[in-house]
């Protein structure tokens, strides 16, 4: 057999290169290419034909997969309505954010509902996991615990036990004896994930893989793990806040962009059924620079408070500090305010923040951001019973956004009575709200602030 030469893999995107280079051609990242032992190609194929099925035979099966609910509603919704058998799920997040806590609670909930659960920890000893379970009050749940990192042993156990759900915490600690590099390396993570996903599909076991995320927000190891699994969930939150958000970024069995909201307490993670109330709870008297955005996260409307502070700068290039929003979007909105509405921010430091540690990525937040900025600059408060939404185009026009009715309904439910929306929005019933429709940003700023 010819001796296989070493390969070089990019630890960011998983691309394979023939020789080392400082920069990966595939993803453009610097200093990410590492030498790896070559992947074993396994025994040669015997040339047998793969089994084919006509699509029509599948029609007799149910269109919707049968799902197991955990009873943790925030989790079930993010999964698309429950756990699908034989699916592979990746849960990523920063170390210490609460992934192990979440999954231990999830395992207990599934087990209490009759799903056979195996929780394999590669990071903590079984005694440590049991101690945590005790503190969380989960010791009555029939979850089988394992502390193991050798994937071969784990697969043998899974094959013998045939659970409904296996949780692997974390994929970076697993290693296969057929792969010649250290646990956590690109080839180990990729091979281990591949084995587990294949096992899930073949044996009808749902598998949840925990993955740590690197500083720049990538799941450590190759991105390819994200492509292998059916569902990718991110568990995120700000360190200083107790709120944690479980976000679906890919889901073959449900809507992507769905979120579940939890609160980290001394007794583990508690579900937050009404996030709007939570994110708005610490609003006191109306202050300049605060605007409430009626947003949509996945299938659910969520109200968040956008806060802006504008102050004279003593720097050559004024500060632009953003938390919870895209900084590129802030630059665009500042440019539109200056060019289309004649409101300059030159010489002013701008700080923008989404209250409660929430992240907002919807373009529909543009109008609330602009309103908070102008409100802070002009020192004029926005009425406390007003919500805003609408996308701002470069011409300064306001574009209608989706699900106007749902946004208004949620705002009305939480005691808001007026809204500002783009012209031509589909208002439906209006939900008893006084809705002002605005064609462009200049008209809104003129009416609201007289600027």
The site for ligand TYD (CB under 6 A) is made up of 93, 95-101, 132, 135-136, 264, 266-268
On whether 25 is known to bind a ligand per the annotation, the reply is: no
On whether 50 is known to bind a ligand per the annotation, the reply is: no
Return the C-alpha torsion angle 289, 293, 298, 299, nearest 10.
Answer: 160
The end-to-end CA distance of the chain, in Å, is 78
Choose between 99 and 340: whose C-beta lies nearer to ligand TYD.
99
Closest distance to Mg ion from the beta carbon of 217 (Å): 18
Choose between 92 and 163: whose C-beta lies nearer to ligand TYD.
92
Choose between 211 and 396: whose C-beta lies nearer to ligand TYD.
211
**Rg of the chain taking only CA atoms, in angstroms:** 25
Q: At what angle do helices 441-449 and 366-378 cross, to 10 degrees?
A: 40
Closest distance to Mg ion from the beta carbon of 124 (Å): 7
Binding mask 33-72 for Mg ion (x = CB under 5 A): ----------------------------------------
On whether 100 is known to bind a ligand per the annotation, the reply is: yes
Choose between 44 and 239: whose C-beta lies nearer to ligand TYD.
239
Question: What distances in angstroms separate CA 273 from CA 71, 104, 169, 424, one per listed residue?
Answer: 13, 20, 27, 32
Choose between 237 and 422: whose C-beta lies nearer to ligand TYD.
237
Q: Do residues 422 and 400 lie in contact, with contact meaning Cβ atoms separated by under 8 Å? A: yes
Phi, psi of 213, deg, nearest 5: -110, 140
Choose between 78 and 325: whose C-beta lies nearer to ligand TYD.
78
Q: Does residue 172 touch Mg ion according to CB under 5 A?
A: no
| Nearest Cα to Cα of residue 32 among 41, 42, 43, 21 | 21
Please tell me what DSSP assigns to residue 204: T
| Nearest Cα to Cα of residue 401 among 424, 433, 428 | 424
- Segments in 136-263 forming alpha helices (H): 151-161, 186-203, 224-228
Residues 6+ away with beta carbon under 8 Å from 345: 310, 318, 334, 337, 338, 373, 377
On whether 89 is known to bind a ligand per the annotation, the reply is: no
Closest distance to ligand TYD from the beta carbon of 380 (Å): 40
On whether 99 is known to bind a ligand per the annotation, the reply is: yes
Q: At what angle do helices 327-341 and 366-378 cross, to 10 degrees?
A: 60
Q: Do residues 179 and 138 lie in contact, with contact meaning Cβ atoms separated by under 8 Å? A: no
Closest distance to Mg ion from the beta carbon of 244 (Å): 13
Phi, psi of 203, deg, nearest 5: -100, 0
Question: 91 in helix, strand or coil?
Answer: strand
Q: Which does residue 93 bind out of Mg ion, ligand TYD, none, counting CB within 5 to 8 angstroms by kind?
A: ligand TYD
Q: Which does residue 194 bind out of Mg ion, ligand TYD, none, counting CB within 5 to 8 angstroms by kind?
A: none
Choose between 28 and 137: whose C-beta lies nearer to ligand TYD.
137
Q: Which does residue 96 bind out of ligand TYD, Mg ion, none, counting CB within 5 to 8 angstroms by kind?
A: ligand TYD
Closest distance to ligand TYD from the beta carbon of 77 (Å): 21
Choose between 133 and 408: whose C-beta lies nearer to ligand TYD.
133
On whether 215 is known to bind a ligand per the annotation, the reply is: no
Q: Which does residue 267 bind out of ligand TYD, Mg ion, none, counting CB within 5 to 8 angstroms by kind?
A: ligand TYD
Q: Does residue 100 touch Mg ion according to CB under 5 A?
A: yes
Closest distance to ligand TYD from the beta carbon of 219 (Å): 13
On whether 94 is known to bind a ligand per the annotation, the reply is: yes
Q: Do residues 17 and 36 lie in contact, with contact meaning Cβ atoms separated by under 8 Å? A: no
Closest distance to Mg ion from the beta carbon of 81 (Å): 26
Closest distance to Mg ion from the beta carbon of 121 (Å): 8
Provide the binding-site residues for Mg ion, judged by CB under 5 A: 100
Residue list for the binding site: 93-100
């Amino acid at each position: 057999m010819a001796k296989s030469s070493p390969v070089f893999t990019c630890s960011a995107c998983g691309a394979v290169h023939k020789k080392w280079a400082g920069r990966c051609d595939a993803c453009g990242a610097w200093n990410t290419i590492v030498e790896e032992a070559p992947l074993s190609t396994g025994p040669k194929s015997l040339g047998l034909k793969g089994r084919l099925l006509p699509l029509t035979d599948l029609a007799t099966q149910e269109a919707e997969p049968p799902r197991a609910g955990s009873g943790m509603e925030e989790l079930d919704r993010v999964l698309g309505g429950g756990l699908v058998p034989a699916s592979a799920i990746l849960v990523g997040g920063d170390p210490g954010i609460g992934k192990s806590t979440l999954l231990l609670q999830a395992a207990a909930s599934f087990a209490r509902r009759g799903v056979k659960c195996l929780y394999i920890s590669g990071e903590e000893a079984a005694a440590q996991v049991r101690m945590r379970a005790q503190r969380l009050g989960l010791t009555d749940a029939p979850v089988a615990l394992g502390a193991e990192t050798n994937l071969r042993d784990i697969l043998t156990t899974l094959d013998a036990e045939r659970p409904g759900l296996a949780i692997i915490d974390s994929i970076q600690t697993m290693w296969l004896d057929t792969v010649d590099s250290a646990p956590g390396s690109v080839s180990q993570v990729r091979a281990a994930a591949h084995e587990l996903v294949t096992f899930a599909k073949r044996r009808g076991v749902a598998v949840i893989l925990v993955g740590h995320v690197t500083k720049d927000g990538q799941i450590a190891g190759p991105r390819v793990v994200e492509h292998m699994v059916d569902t990718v969930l991110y568990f995120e939150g700000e360190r200083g806040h107790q709120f944690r958000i479980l976000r679906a970024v890919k889901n073959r069995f449900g809507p992507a962009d769905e979120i579940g909201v939890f609160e980290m307490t001394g007794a583990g993670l508690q579900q937050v059924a009404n996030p709007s109330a939570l994110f708005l709870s610490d609003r006191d008297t109306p202050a300049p620079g605060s605007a409430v955005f009626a947003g949509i996260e996945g299938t659910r409307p969520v109200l968040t408070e956008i806060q802006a502070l504008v102050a004279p700068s003593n720097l050559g290039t004024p500060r632009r500090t953003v938390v919870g929003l895209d900084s590129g979007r802030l630059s665009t909105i500042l440019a539109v305010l200056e060019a289309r509405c004649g409101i300059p921010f030159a010489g002013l430091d701008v700080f923008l923040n989404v209250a409660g540690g929430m992240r907002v990525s919807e373009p529909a937040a543009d109008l609330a951001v602009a309103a908070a900025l102008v409100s802070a600059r002009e020192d004029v408060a926005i009425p406390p019973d007003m919500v805003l939404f609408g996308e701002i185009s470069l011409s300064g026009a306001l574009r209608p956004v989706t699900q106007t009715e749902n946004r208004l309904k949620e705002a009305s439910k939480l005691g808001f009575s007026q809204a500002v929306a783009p012209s031509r929005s589909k208002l439906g019933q209006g939900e008893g709200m006084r809705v002002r429709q605005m064609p462009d940003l200049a008209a809104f700023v003129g009416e609201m602030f007289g600027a």
